[in-house]
Amino acid sequence: MTTMKSELEALTVLDDRDLDAMAREKAVHYLEHKASQTSIERLVQALEDESFGVRWAAAEALSKIGEAALPALLNALINKADHHWLREGAYHVLYCNSSPRVQEEATQLRQALVGPAADLTVPVEAFLLLGALQGARP
C-alpha cells in the first residue's frame, strides 16, 4: 500500500495486524495529519500495539498533535495505567510534546510514569492534569 486516500483507509490499515509494520506505520503517519477525535483515540490505542515501530510512530504522532491529543491519552492512563507500553508511549508523548504548555503542566505526570508504583500514581496524576486542562478552557 503506497498512499492512504482517507482517514477510514488509514484506520483500516492500522487495525489490520496481518499487514507488515511498515504499512501500519504509514497509516499512523497519515492519521497524524488528520487529528480528528477518532484518529487521536486510535493513535492512543496504538501505543499498546504489539509492534514497537507502530507504538513509536503513534507516540511521535501524538506528540506532534500536541494538546489536542491529551484528553484521549489522559483518559487511557486513568483507565489502563497498569499497561506498561501505554505508560512508555505516554511518557514519550508528554516529554516530546509540541506544546510547551503540555511539557510544563505534565511534569508531575511524567515523574509518575517512571516512578515507583506507576500503576497507582499515574491514574491520579492523569486525572488531576485532565481536570486542570478542562478547567482552563473557557
- pLDDT, tens digit, 9 for 90 and up, residues 89-99: 999 999 999 99
**pTM of this prediction?**
0.90
How does residue 109 score in pLDDT terms, banded at 50, 70 and 90? very high
What span, in angstroms and rounded, lies between the C-alpha atoms of 46 and 110? 19
- pLDDT, tens digit, 9 for 90 and up, residues 8-63: 999 999 999 999 999 999 999 999 998 899 999 999 999 999 999 999 999 999 99
Looking up cell 508523548 gives 93
Taking all residues of the chain, what is their mean pLDDT, rounded to a whole number? 92
Single out the residue of 73, 84, 4, 9 nearest to residue 45, CA to CA.
Answer: 73
Please, which residues have CB within 8 angstroms of residue 69's CB and are 6 or more apart in sequence? 35, 40, 43, 44, 62, 63, 93
